[in-house]
Chains A and B, each alone.
Chain A
Amino acid sequence: GAGVSQSPRYKVTKRGQDVALRCDPISGHVSLYWYRQALGQGPEFLTYFNYEAQQDKSGLPNDRFSAERPEGSISTLTIQRTEQRDSAMYRCASSPRTGGYRGGTYEQYFGPGTRLTVT
């Protein structure tokens, strides 16, 4: 079946512009996560949703970053007034449910990412 998709795959924008990054999770997946990955580093958590509810946004670096998932499926990560330090790979993941179950944890399935470059 279809995996997690993200668009655009590459985005080049000028400093000060707003950008919107889209994530389409695996159909039926309840939980959706956003991560940011700087070059040469591992992904860092930004925020996550269960259905349409944003459960944790503690990883969003400042108030220029926001995310929504209005119908509990597709999610948009918006960065306002972009800065060069926002340049990174933005990764989305989805899972059937949140966290763990007896004897295991629900796998997070990652999309291909959006490479954002702010010039």
Chain B
Amino acid sequence: GDSVTQMEGPVTLSEEAFLTINCTYTATGYPSLFWYVQYPGEGLQLLLKATKADDKGSNKGFEATYRKETTSFHLEKGSVQVSDSAVYFCALMRQGAQKLVFGQGTRLTINP
């Protein structure tokens, strides 16, 4: 079945460091790929998405590129801020399906 595997956390970085959170997936066909973020005390919010191979999703300085050849959708940010501290979830939605399949989440803490 479809699945998403994320880099295990927690991840702790200093402010202005470079961030990568790895995400790989298993799915038939060409799923859409997503990164969701959950800030403390809040619900899940869509951070960015990509719907086909080589698409790059970006938002708030975060980027992720849909890599079909490596079945990956790694999240990157060049310079993190304390306000980026949150739990990040990678997810997919198979074409024709209606449900999101999530990874286990990666907790990110940024220290000043």
A contact residues vs B (CB 8 Å cutoff): 3-4, 31, 33, 35, 40-45, 48, 55-56, 59, 91, 93, 98-100, 103-105, 107-113
Contacts and interface: CB of A to CB of B under 8 A. Distances in A.
Interface of B: 4, 32, 36, 42-46, 49, 51, 89, 91, 93, 95-105
27 contacts: A35-B100, A40-B104, A40-B105, A42-B4, A42-B89, A42-B91, A42-B102, A43-B102, A45-B101, A48-B99, A55-B98, A56-B98, A56-B99, A59-B99, A91-B44, A93-B44, A99-B96, A100-B51, A100-B95, A103-B51, A104-B49, A105-B49, A107-B46, A109-B46, A110-B45, A111-B43, A112-B42
B51 A108 contact: no
Contacts of B51: 100, 103-105
Nearest to B99: A45
Contacts of A93: 44
Given A42-B103, A42-B105, A110 B32 contact: no
